[in-house]
Structure 1
Amino acid sequence: MPLFEFLDEKHPLTGRLAMAVEYDGTGYCGWQRLKHAPSVQETLETALGRVAGAPLRVLCSGRTDSGVHATRQIVHFDAPVPRSEKAWVFGANANLPRDVAVRWVKPVPDEFHARFLALARRYRYLILNQPSRPVLERANATWCREPLDAPRMHAAAQALVGEHDFSSFRAAGCQSKSPTRHVHFIEVNRYGPLIAIDIQANAFLHHMIRNIAGALVSVGRGDRGEGYLAELLAMRDRARGDVTAPGCGLHFVDSVYDERFDLPREPLGPSLLAFLGEWTGERPLPDTPMVRYRRGEAGARHPAAVANGVD
């Protein structure tokens, strides 16, 4: 997908639509609609409802916490009325506040599901590592005034790659039935004063990345050794874990789907890392039962059936 292209305004789109949404999560309780606080989901559904002239519901690829941002949140919805590509994008953005925007919309097969067919989710956690507090970046990066050793943090983080029980890194109120997740990769790199923790997995537990980031900062400061993450992982006890890093540094940057859906490719965010030039979907996925099943490969079984040894 090129950075600039004309949006079609002649051909109405109907049926199931996929959409990419970008948002600054500072003013929201998170993605999921709640009765007592503003959410990104409610904000987006209200805007799209005005375009359609009818209420509609959107489903996302992965819920984000309060204060967490996204540059490529994938959602899907069933259009109650036909509207052109331009009408959906421009109409939604005209009705959205400045901290939420639609990037693109695309027709997808009825079988497409933003959550249940996602092969991977990817986040980046940003830390500004400098003596003075940030001003322009204060809402989208965490500040650490003590010097951090990024190569040491990267080495410590490699203990998390693979399929593990991440109980030591899940929030006490996490509602997931299983603490097991498969981390595809985790990288820690420094770009001048900016440290980026880049992590992709099949899915994440509540506060999992923020808890990982908090532990990695302890390693980077020299408070803990390189084996600290491996030790926490083995404990399987959140009560013995490290601090939870602030939500403002966390960015949801990608959801990966099978190539048959042909979703638009675009540069990975956030904008502070756009110079890296990495576009979505470029990293190879591991060969796992879940990936094969969601790709619809012949003979592939549901991961639960594989784990239990049943059909």
Structure 2
Amino acid sequence: MEYDGSEFSGWQRLNKPGEPERRGEPTVQAALEQALSFVAGEGVEVVCAGRTDAGVHASAQVVHFDGPAQRDVRGWVLGTTSRLPPSVCVRWCVPVADDFHARFSARARRYRYSILNRAVRPALQRQYLSWERRPLDAAAMHRSAQALVGEHDFSAFRTVHCQAPHARRDLQFIAVERQGDVVTVEVQANAFLHHMVRNIVGSLLPVGRGEQPEEWLGDLLAGRDRTVAGPTAPSAGLVFLGPRYPAQWGLPAEVEL
């Protein structure tokens, strides 16, 4: 699926299945389950590859569900999308083996964070961009970020509300690039902690502005102290590019390792 997270309180359903959503707190999961249930003719519950926070977008979120009714792929895709709000759509559907799991079968997940770096805030595409008015040195940010590659304890970049049992993650690559006025941070890891990407970006910004040395990210990582790292970057600039699965599952190439 893809979705614009601007109008949602995140991925995770806040109510029990079948109950009405809390007023003013719509979620992507609840919207999808309601649409799938209409197509199936009975209740459907889904599991996603990676939960996204309020305001965070996705271009290739993967979910699985046990289909209680026989429908062809076209029926699931078009029928479900017809019952979703304009900000959400189902892009493709593939039958999978019973032991496939959207979350646990994934071997990696990828995000992109986009920053408009100019003196004036954005008007167009503003829901997909963060904004930094001071000049950023993207090359310095990229060099600094390489200290995070590998398996480490990322306690310095997790929120205090993170419920993960431990903070060790394998960050497989991170790249910071500039194209015109837009600086992007793309990162892939086996899994992410709560707010991990946004906290990494928030700590890269002082490096890009020249307020901290390039070695600072490595020092933060080693120190494991969230209180001395940079602030959490805004949610608007973050897009979940999707999980990555072994080829054995026969999924489209965009989500294969």
- Shared fold per TM-score greater than 0.5: yes
Q: CA deviation at 1:265?
A: 2.3
The one-letter amino acid paired with 1:29 is S
2:205 match:
217
**1: distance between equivalents of 2:219 and 2:8?**
34
| Cα deviation digits, residues 217-250 of structure 1 (max 9, x gap) | 1110111110110111111111222100000100
1:303 match:
none
1:13 match:
none
2:245 match:
257
Counterparts of 1:131-142 in structure 2 under 5 Å?
131-142=119-130
Find out whether 1:23 has 2:11 as its counterpart. no
Q: CA deviation at 1:38?
A: 1.1
Indicate if the aligned counterparts of 2:121 and 2:131 stay in contact, CA closer than 8 A: yes
Indicate if the aligned counterparts of 2:246 and 2:256 stay in contact, CA closer than 8 A: no
The one-letter amino acid paired with 1:32 is Q
1:173 match:
161
- The DSSP-based 3-state class of the residue aligned with 1:116 is coil
Moved over 2 A (4+): none
**1: distance between equivalents of 2:52 and 2:37?**
22
- The DSSP-based 3-state class of the residue aligned with 1:127 is strand
**2: distance between equivalents of 1:76 and 1:136?**
34
Indicate if the aligned counterparts of 2:139 and 2:177 stay in contact, CA closer than 8 A: yes
Larger relative strand fraction: 1
Q: CA deviation at 1:84?
A: 1.1
**2: distance between equivalents of 1:149 and 1:248?**
21
Counterparts of 1:69-88 in structure 2 under 5 Å?
69-88=57-76
**1: distance between equivalents of 2:80 and 2:45?**
14
Higher RCO structure, 1 or 2 (CA under 8 Å, sep 6+): 2
Q: What do you get for the CA RMSD once the two structures are aligned? A: 0.9
**2: distance between equivalents of 1:74 and 1:89?**
13
2:134 match:
146
**2: distance between equivalents of 1:58 and 1:115?**
11
- The DSSP-based 3-state class of the residue aligned with 1:107 is coil
Gaps of 5+ in 1: 1-20, 267-279, 283-311
**1: distance between equivalents of 2:215 and 2:84?**
46
2:42 match:
54
Find out whether 1:95 has 2:75 as its counterpart. no
TM-score where L is the length of structure 2: 0.95
Instruction: Report the identity percentage.
Output: 53
**1: distance between equivalents of 2:60 and 2:26?**
20
How many positions carry a matched residue from both structures? 249
The one-letter amino acid paired with 2:183 is I
2:191 match:
203
- The DSSP-based 3-state class of the residue aligned with 1:125 is strand
CA distance 1:281–1:80, change in 2 (3 Å)? closer
2:29 match:
41
Q: CA deviation at 1:281?
A: 3.9
Q: CA deviation at 1:187?
A: 0.3
| Cα deviation digits, residues 73-130 of structure 1 (max 9, x gap) | 0100000000111110110111000111000000000010000110000000000111
2:95 match:
107
1:127 match:
115
